[in-house]
Amino acid sequence: MNILIIGAGGREHALAWKIQQSPLCTNLFVAPGNAGTEKIAKNVPLIVTDFEGIAKFVTNEDIEMIVVGPEEPLVKGLRDFFSELPNLTKVHIIGPDHKGALLEGSKDFSKRFMLKYGIPTANAKTFTIDSLQHGLEYLDAIQLPIVLKADGLAAGKGVLICPTHEEAKTNLRQMLSEKMFGEASHKVLVEEFLEGIELSVFIITDGKNYVTLPEAKDYKRIGEGETGLNTGGMGAVSPVGFADKHFMNKVHQKIIEPTIRGLQQEQIDYIGFIFIGLMNVDGEPYAIEYNIRLGDPEAQVVLPRIKSDLVELLMATAERRLQNEKLEIFDQTASTVVVVAEGYPGTYKTGKIINNLDKITRANAFHAGTATNKNNQIITNGGRVIAMTGLGENLKEALEISFEAADTVHWDGLYFRRDIGKDLLVTPPL
Ligand code: AMP
Ligand code: GLY
């Protein structure tokens, strides 16, 4: 079968790496891809929201399955677009339609969904420019810190955690009346702050049945000790110690199963991944958000832990027969350390020549922001440049491999966090 992956990041390189291992995959394409995917698949110069271009390519190359990496094409209706093309209705698309994509595309929708189906989550109220005055009064009445969330997609930047009432008021005003995040903040959720440890849980569902993938912990801030600005993710590990059987049973009962029931009751015909960002608050899981895709860099630790054939799993999802699927997982621990460009998540330079990739022997170097220049050299082409994934018998071994690779690769002005996974190496006190 010919398969097309949509996207250009580390997640898509990891997907390509896993998919091309499947005997079911004949030709693999990535649109637009990066210098890493170019080595194992064919890159296609199409942007991820060029639905017409994608449809033409799918017809010409006889693509039978499209695996969508990022959320944007799904929120913009890629599946809906294909469902209206008579010649292409048989193409399997891994990713929900526009309605299902609202789980990520609108935080107001997903909050109402969670509340309607009894899924534990932080209390929240939604405000618009018309109810700004109400919103400001409401802020005074709630406890600090206060979480403000832009309703729509804001490239991972739409959540503000405000330590004072003053700051919360200024931000709410700017979000609603000055469109701080453009259209995304025409509605804003004011949310209660949850204190706890975060966990990323992944399932793949055919709308009725689901398979749980390995869980992961993501390191979001730019600075060591979780300080500084939020990023797309600076590293990840899987498995996560506290996500034991007992805790995961609660996640299944209280979060995943009601989510699937909700999809059915809302008549959302969901085919694809769901990534639930949750908080462990004193041993109880609370849903923070849904994403309609795999995480990045979580995919770079989740996929290498999957032993089963991913294409077979994707086919079973697309053909709505997931009830028969069992996932085999490797016992090993995976870690990934994201090496970024100097300045990220602020402004950064691109086009720096990347050296020593050939000296990386033990890690999987999943490319994110890379490209190939005219002289066939691999250069930086984004903020998050490359994710170094190690697999080991335990976390310590996996991290050694990730850090060895991060220390080996070189370009002018690189940076990575040296504390990824280190919090989980410390045995908690009894
Ligand atoms: P989101 O874009 O919803 O994933 O939010 C980004 C990050 O903000 C999350 O990964 C959390 O670290 C943090 N966050 C979001 N909502 C809350 C909350 N209610 N309480 C505490 N932290 C939160
Ligand atoms: N690493 C978090 C995300 O992919 O949204």
Q: What is the pLDDT of residues 73-101, one digit of tens each?
A: 999 999 999 999 998 989 999 999 999 99
The answer to whether residue 181 scores a pLDDT higher than 90 is: no
CATH number assigned to the domain comprising residue 271:
3.30.470.20
Question: Three-state SS for 428?
Answer: coil
Q: Is residue 103 part of a domain?
A: no
Boundary (domain end) residue, out of 147, 175, 192: 192
Distances (CA, A) of 37 to 7, 30, 99, 377: 10, 7, 30, 15
Query: Do 298 and 373 sit in the same domain of this protein?
Result: no
Q: Which residue has the higher pLDDT, 88 or 182?
A: 88
Ligand 1 center from residue 67 Cα (angstroms): 27
Query: Do 401 and 367 sit in the same domain of this protein?
Result: yes
Q: In terms of residues, how long is the chain?
A: 430
**The pLDDT of residue 427:** 64
Which ligand 1 atom is at minimum distance from the Cα of 107?
3
**The pLDDT of residue 171:** 92
pLDDT range class, residue 154, cuts 50, 70, 90: confident
Ligand 1 center from residue 264 Cα (angstroms): 27
The tens digit of pLDDT for each residue in 330-376 reads 999 999 999 999 999 999 999 999 999 999 999 999 999 999 999 99
Bin 226: left if φ > 0, else alpha if -120 < ψ < 50, else beta.
Answer: left
Residue ID of nearest Cα to ligand 1 atom 18: 193
Query: Do 202 and 320 sit in the same domain of this protein?
Result: yes
**The pLDDT of residue 395:** 97
**The pLDDT of residue 10:** 98
Ligand 2 center from residue 281 Cα (angstroms): 20
Residue 358: CA atoms inside 13 Å, Cβ hemisphere, count? 3
Mean pLDDT of the chain: 95
- Cβ contact 203:211 at 8 Å: yes
Which ligand 2 atom is at minimum distance from the Cα of 291?
5
Query: Do 299 and 202 sit in the same domain of this protein?
Result: yes
Ligand 2 center from residue 173 Cα (angstroms): 27
Q: Which residue has the higher pLDDT, 177 or 399?
A: 399
Ligand 2 center from residue 233 Cα (angstroms): 6
CATH number assigned to the domain comprising residue 32:
3.40.50.20
Q: Is residue 263 part of a domain?
A: yes
Question: Three-state SS for 71?
Answer: coil
Query: Do 285 and 362 sit in the same domain of this protein?
Result: no
**The pLDDT of residue 202:** 98
The tens digit of pLDDT for each residue in 300-327 reads 999 999 999 999 999 999 999 999 899 9
Ligand nearest to the CA of 198: 1
Full residue range of the structural domain in which residue 340 is found? 334-426
CATH number assigned to the domain comprising residue 134:
3.30.1490.20
Nearest to 198 by CA among 247, 158, 143: 247
Residue ID of nearest Cα to ligand 2 atom 3: 295
Query: Do 275 and 204 sit in the same domain of this protein?
Result: yes
- pTM of structure: 0.96
Which ligand 2 atom is at minimum distance from the Cα of 297?
1
CATH number assigned to the domain comprising residue 402:
3.90.600.10
Alpha-carbon gap, residue 297 to 416, rounded angstroms: 13
Residue ID of nearest Cα to ligand 1 atom 7: 159
| CB of residue 291 inside a 6 A radius of ligand 2 | yes
**The pLDDT of residue 387:** 98
Per cent of the chain over pLDDT 70 is: 99
The answer to whether residue 156 scores a pLDDT higher than 80 is: no
Alpha-carbon gap, residue 298 to 302, rounded angstroms: 6
Residue ID of nearest Cα to ligand 2 atom 2: 295
The tens digit of pLDDT for each residue in 385-416 reads 999 999 999 999 999 999 999 999 999 999 99
The tens digit of pLDDT for each residue in 247-270 reads 999 999 999 999 999 999 999 999
Q: Is residue 110 part of a domain?
A: no
Query: Do 45 and 61 sit in the same domain of this protein?
Result: yes
Residue ID of nearest Cα to ligand 1 atom 15: 288
Q: Is residue 113 part of a domain?
A: no
Q: Is residue 106 part of a domain?
A: no
- Helices 98-105 and 107-116 pack at an angle, to 10 degrees, of 100
Q: Is residue 26 part of a domain?
A: yes
Query: Do 134 and 180 sit in the same domain of this protein?
Result: yes
Boundary (domain end) residue, out of 278, 293, 324: 324
**The pLDDT of residue 426:** 72
The count of domains in the chain is 4
Query: Do 16 and 57 sit in the same domain of this protein?
Result: yes
Ligand 1 center from residue 216 Cα (angstroms): 16
The tens digit of pLDDT for each residue in 201-211 reads 999 999 999 99
Pick from 298, 301, 420 the residue to mutate for probing ligand 2's pocket: most ligand atoms within 8 Å of its CB. 298
Ligand nearest to the CA of 199: 1
Ligand nearest to the CA of 298: 2
| CB of residue 70 inside a 6 A radius of ligand 2 | no
| CB of residue 419 inside a 6 A radius of ligand 1 | no
**What average pLDDT score do residues 60-81 get?**
97
The answer to whether residue 428 scores a pLDDT higher than 80 is: no
